[in-house]
Amino acid sequence: MTDVEDKRQEQAHLRQVIVQIKQEQAKLKQNIQTAQADIHEIDRTFGDDVHVGMGDDGISMAGALSIQQQQQMLAERNNSWQRSQQQLMVLNKLVEKPYFARLDFQELPSGKPETIYIGLGSLTDEDNNFLIYDWRAPISAIYYDGDLGQVTYQTPDGEQAVKVTLKRQFIIEKGQIQTFFDTEETIGDQMLLAVLDNKASTKMKSIVTTIQREQNQIIRDTDSDLLFVQGAAGSGKTAAIMQRVAYLLYRYRHKLDSGQVVLFSPNMLFNDYVSQVLPEMGEQNMIQLTYSQYLGHRLPKVQLQTLAQQFEATQTPTQQAIIHFVSDYQFFQLETQYAQLLGQGGVYFRDLRLHDRVLLSRQQIAQIYYHFGPQYRLVNRIEATKAKLLKKLQGQLQREMKQEWVQTAIQNLSSEQLRQLYDYPDQEFATSEAEEKFLAHKLVEKELQPVARKIQQLQFLNPTATYQQFLRSVPQIVDLAAWKITPADWQEYQQQFQADLQKRQLRLSDLTPYLYLYDLITGHHGDLKMKFVFIDEIQDYTPFQLAYLKYSFPRARYTLLGDLNQSIFVKGKAPVLLKEVRKLFVPEKTRVVQLTHSYRSTQQITEFTKQLLQTGVKIQAFHRPGDLPNVLLAKKQMQMLQALQQQLRQNHDRHYATAIITRNLEQAQELQEQLRSSSTATTLVRSENQRLASGDLVIPVYLAKGLEFDAVIIWNASAGEFTSQDRQVLYTMASRAMHRLTITACGQLEPLLAAIPENYYQKTVIN
Ligand SMILES: Nc1ncnc2c1ncn2[C@@H]1O[C@H](COP(=O)(O)OP(=O)(O)OP(=O)(O)O)[C@@H](O)[C@H]1O
């Protein structure tokens, strides 16, 4: 068959499918209208029925029944409306691009030849024949995993072998086939090149049409409790998570909803960046949080270190040693073991007070807490204490009613306050004593309510004193010298911690162990219903934090993704992370995947950034050609600014949006000011709480994490601006660029960059 004939036939097939989609759309719209009308009608009659059934004692039996039926009907209609809405949303996408691939195959050993088309969602005709298969259906795995010839795939009944005879990829725009390729490989490079050559928008896009085989392993993994993905910059880790969430929501449909999946992301700009991917695939977004937000929810009054403070904090060697120690998995274990001893002593309490008077003293509370036998686990112990305290409080009520303040308070009540104490207006009493007693009871009950609430909320615990006691015990349990910490250093650290807590300003590395001990005592967990936890940019977490998250979501399966070469917060400690994390999971349920192909940048940019890393790192550039990165070396500061502006203009000519990435916020602010005074329009990204603006940006490196831009200009990579520790920082900066990378410097180039052989970049010295 000729290409022309092929295309004619494919276009004819496409037209037919589009007709079917349109019919389906019309049907769904009709369903939606009917459901809406029904909901409206039920809403209208709902109120009437209630009135009909109302007797003096409230709602009659018949009325109640009718309400229940109405509610059921309403819920059912609402569900149907929602389902239809969601299906319609998918169809609205399918009508433009019904599918992106075709597979011809034959089931082995003796199946008939079959042809299927794969798209964003499934569609069947009236006879239940599949016109389009969802990309997540079991059969679609062949498209991503296999070459031509014999291939196997997983069905619900086990493995099935097929012989694939054709793999065809389509680019369809507005219902027209633009072009198609037949390919023998998994996913043809031609298609990938076409996708990658497109310029970025400010939002990440779905990659379903070109998922690579190694990425597909991550997306479709359903066996591992821990899936650990180490991947080079731009290797599609984030893209893979987003498709994986969509896959899981499809695979576990009816058992999993998007509220049971949480993604811990590096910052809120990143959340904005990925916010469209799942909706584009017809799915709802999962919960997205930064680690700091997660802790912040727990202690809303404590001010946590900002990203800027975390990144820019300078530490003395002693501080570093201590942070290293309290961030380690060993410290986590130490705390876990310490908590086991708390059943015998070491938990501190606070007095429970009423009007500044001690109602239940901390000594009394401690006695209650510790009078439960050793068979009580900490969680049961606290629950039992709570129950006992509430009972005691109840017992206090009678005694409290006789206190002098009660009489005085009653006498001073305004008539409005009095009215509120009665059960109903003009309440009658046999005697004035009975009335007084009634009022005293009511008043005391009301006053004791906040105390009861405190008991419910476990405010009788003193977590700070308990934690301080733990810190004091540490030198007796651990050889601190092995961590290069002296007893005096440790003591100073304890004081510092106390002072920080009083100021309500804490480092993340200090807050996590504090919360963990509290959780151990109270049995507090994160959401037990959470089924999947994703952590992106894992290299920025400490082993302690990861162990804490694992403790917090004990029933979830974990997907951790990161690039140890981009660890810009936890400097130098990242390589041990995998080893530490593995300890938390059963080895048979752990899978480690390496992604070595880098898709984001042109070949020239990837080869250049690779040179920044020490040897031995496996990164394969995707062969998408582009310009060599260029270094603009100025003699004076002013020239560096002019060179930057000229580069911006060149980037504009190519319709590239540029991110000018700086070392820190201060530099970003300074530069933005200079650009503003010379009328160059750029947006300064100063905080992670901002939305991602389009156009040219000035952004400090720690906020650019996880993002990508058409063009990147690294600002002021002059000697002396970075330290030898900043290899990863420079790597992170440079690897954000998709099509164009420029480095500006003044005087001498930063030695880490100057060490790169000159054939990897083009240097212009500005005189
Ligand atoms: N299979 C693919 N098909 C098309 N585009 C892809 C594919 N894989 C990755 N990409 C694109 O490559 C770019 C980089 O991907 P992504 O941001 O997921 O990488 P990453 O590994 O998270 O990078 P980093 O660690 O540097 O933040 C994105 O634009 C993504 O859409």
Tens digits of residue pLDDT in 65-101? 566 777 777 778 777 788 888 888 889 989 999 999 9
- Is residue 525 situated within a structural domain? no
The number of folded domains in the chain is 3
Residue of 708, 731, 733, 739 to test ligand 1 pocket, by largest number of atoms within 8 Å of CB: 708
In one-letter notation, the amino acid at residue 24 is: E
**Structure token digits, residue 136:** 């997540």
pLDDT at 758: 92
- Is residue 514 situated within a structural domain? no
- Rounded to 10 degrees, what is the CA torsion of 300, 301, 302, 308? 70
For the CA of 233, the nearest atom of ligand 1? 26
Question: Final residue of a domain: which of 164, 190, 214?
Answer: 214
HEC secondary structure over 365-379: HHHHHHHCCCCCCHH
Chain centre to alpha carbon of residue 541: 13
pLDDT at 578: 76
Angle in degrees, CA 14, 15, 18, rounded to 5: 85
Q: pLDDT tens-digit profile of 176-227?
A: 998 888 887 555 567 788 778 775 567 888 889 889 988 999 999 999 999 9
For the CA of 732, the nearest atom of ligand 1? 26
624 lines ligand 1 (CB under 6 A): no
Q: Is 301 a residue whose pLDDT tops 80?
A: no
Ligand 1 centroid–CA 696 distance in Å is 21
238 lines ligand 1 (CB under 6 A): yes
For the CA of 562, the nearest atom of ligand 1? 25
pLDDT at 54: 41
For the CA of 707, the nearest atom of ligand 1? 27
Ligand 1 centroid–CA 237 distance in Å is 6
- Is residue 145 situated within a structural domain? yes
pLDDT at 647: 96
Chain centre to alpha carbon of residue 721: 33
- Length of the chain (residues): 767
Question: Final residue of a domain: which of 392, 426, 457?
Answer: 457
The CA distances from residue 324 to 301, 485, 570, 661, in Å, are 26, 10, 9, 29
Whose tokens are 């369903």? That residue is 31
For the CA of 205, the nearest atom of ligand 1? 31
207 lines ligand 1 (CB under 6 A): yes
Least confident of 4-8, 144-148, 292-296, 298-302: 298-302
288 lines ligand 1 (CB under 6 A): no
Question: Final residue of a domain: which of 412, 436, 457?
Answer: 457
For the CA of 200, the nearest atom of ligand 1? 29
Which residue's CA lies nearest to atom 28 of ligand 1?
600
Which residue's CA lies nearest to atom 7 of ligand 1?
236
- Is residue 157 situated within a structural domain? yes
Q: Phi/psi at 280 (nearest 5 deg)?
A: -60, -30
Q: Is 649 a residue whose pLDDT tops 50?
A: yes
What is the rounded CA–CA span in Å between residue 521 and residue 519? 5
Residue of 145, 196, 267 to test ligand 1 pocket, by largest number of atoms within 8 Å of CB: 196
Q: Is 447 a residue whose pLDDT tops 90?
A: no
For the CA of 215, the nearest atom of ligand 1? 1
Q: pLDDT tens-digit profile of 364-404?
A: 999 999 998 888 888 899 999 999 999 998 888 888 888 88
Query: What is the DSSP code string of 111-133?
Result: PPEEEEEEESS-EE-TT--EEEE
CATH number of the CATH domain containing 638: 3.40.50.300
Ligand 1 centroid–CA 709 distance in Å is 12
pLDDT at 187: 56
37: left (phi over 0), alpha (psi -120 to 50) or beta: alpha
Least confident of 98-112, 298-312, 543-557: 298-312
pLDDT at 312: 73
561 lines ligand 1 (CB under 6 A): no
Angle in degrees, CA 420, 426, 427, rounded to 5: 80
Which residue's CA lies nearest to atom 3 of ligand 1?
210
Ligand 1 centroid–CA 41 distance in Å is 49
Q: Is 555 a residue whose pLDDT tops 80?
A: yes
Cβ atoms of residues 386 and 458 within 8 Å = yes
pLDDT at 56: 46
The larger pLDDT score, comparing residue 753 to residue 578, is at 753
Query: What Rg do the C-alpha atoms of the chain give, in angstroms?
Result: 32
Ligand 1 centroid–CA 239 distance in Å is 5
Annotated binding-site members for ATP: 231-238
706 lines ligand 1 (CB under 6 A): yes
The larger pLDDT score, comparing residue 281 to residue 517, is at 517
265 lines ligand 1 (CB under 6 A): no
Chain centre to alpha carbon of residue 495: 34
Annotated binding-site members: 231-238
For the CA of 705, the nearest atom of ligand 1? 27
Percentage, residues of the chain above pLDDT 70: 94
Give me the interface pTM, i.e. the ipTM: 0.98
Ligand 1 centroid–CA 236 distance in Å is 3
What is the rounded CA–CA span in Å between residue 42 and residue 213? 51
- Is residue 290 situated within a structural domain? no
- Is residue 161 situated within a structural domain? yes
pLDDT at 414: 84
- Is residue 86 situated within a structural domain? yes
pTM of the model: 0.86
Give the pLDDT band of residue 558 (cuts 50, 70, 90).
very high
- What is the extent of the structural domain holding 395? 352-457
- Is residue 404 situated within a structural domain? yes
What is the rounded CA–CA span in Å between residue 375 and residue 174? 69
